[in-house]
Amino acid sequence: MTEEKIIGWKSLSINDLPKPLHQLSGDEIQRRKCISKVMTFVLKYFTKEFVNRGFEWLLPVIFSASTDPLWPDPGASIEKRIEVEIYGKKVRATLSMIVHKIMACSLIHPKLFTLSPNVRIERRDRALTGVHAYEFTQLDFEARNASSSDIRSLVEDLFVGLMKELKKFMRDELVYLDRYSCLQIPNPPFKVLNRVELEEKYGGEWDKQLPLEISEPVWVVNIPREFYDFEDFENNYWDNYDLLLPGYGEVLSGAKREWEYSKIIIKMERDHVRKENYSTLLKLAKEKRIKPSAGAGIGLERLVSWIVGAKHIGETQLFPRVPGIVYEL
């Protein structure tokens, strides 16, 4: 792999790829220690805040017969889906816990969150983007009867609080990483931009160009995605949202959810999603047991990568998971 790739503000070569833990120099080990401390702080902050706000903490699901189809999202780039057979049935490694979130939020917990493993075997050519890993963790959360604006307001509140806490309690680490003065506490509400207008201005590469021109986090709404994101057929509008950070890009995706059986069926058939993989969800929707909800998933490695100014997202993982590369550990 010798090709140089340019994505957003990054221009990475093979020399920028993270090393295995045992190959790090003394200075590199110290840098990784600081990054790990920031990751611990971010995890502590978010989990404490969600529990204090009445969210129930779910344990993650690793294998499931039903997981995120990641289709027809144009941002998905899966080279291979991990499938195994257990007890005579085919299951997949979790791509995301979105289906589990919707069902749990409908049936038992009105507000919930989980630290969800995501196994997405990305194409090898994404090794040098700096923002992709083939294993990562999302902080996934969902709230029954919430609107998109409710979730965006919650995220803004959490994000501003996190930046304040980091500046207060992680000063030494951020100074060492040369990030203390770079991190500014944003002013809510964050600006909301429509994907259609961004495409008119930048074309299809808006998600790479926009981060270069913003100085604070911004929301991008109305992004065509999977069947579970709410779509207003009459107005041709998707009630969903991504959070983009300056100089980096997307770190959060979320939406209001579909709950009506008829709409879910129409969208599955339109997008060629295999209905048999979602039979339980469809059964509950037909029985009107799926409730309206909204939520999001925060890519923890991406968020921390932005906070610490990592060249590559693999720096936030002690055992990097770089597309196309398999380390021994």
Number of domains forming the structure of the chain: 1
Does the residue 134 lie in any domain? Answer: no
In a domain, 180, yes or no: yes
Q: Which two tokens stand for residue 179?
A: 């990030």
Q: Is the pLDDT of residue 157 over 50?
A: yes
- Domain span at residue 247? 19-61+96-118+141-308
pLDDT over threshold 50, residue 327: yes
Res. 9: pLDDT tops 70: no
Read off the amino acid at residue 96: S
- Residue 243: inside a domain: yes
**Res. 11 pLDDT band, cuts 50 70 90:** low
pLDDT at position 73: 81
pLDDT surpasses 60 at 128: yes
**For 220-239, what is the mean pLDDT?**
98
The answer to whether residue 4 is domain-embedded is: no
What CATH number does the domain containing 212 carry?
A: 3.30.930.10
Identify whether 201 is part of a domain. Answer: yes
- 3-class DSSP state of 72: coil
**Where is 57: in which H helix or E strand?**
strand 56-58
Q: What share of the chain in percent tops pLDDT 90?
A: 93
What is the DSSP code string of 173-205? Answer: HHHHTT-TTT-----SSPEEEEHHHHHHHHGGG
At residue 10, the pLDDT reads 58
Asked whether residue 170 is assigned to any structural domain, the reply reads: yes
Interval 10-26 mean pLDDT: 90
Q: Which of 8-17, 107-116, 263-272, 313-322 has the lowest mean pLDDT?
A: 8-17
Quick check: is 28 in a domain?
yes
CA distance 66 to 53: 29
Which pLDDT does position 262 carry in this prediction?
Answer: 98
Mean pLDDT of 215-221: 98
Give domain status of residue 68, yes or no.
Answer: no
For 63-107, the pLDDT digits (tens) are: 999 999 998 887 788 998 999 999 999 999 999 999 999 999 999
Is the pLDDT at 8 greater than 70? The verdict is no
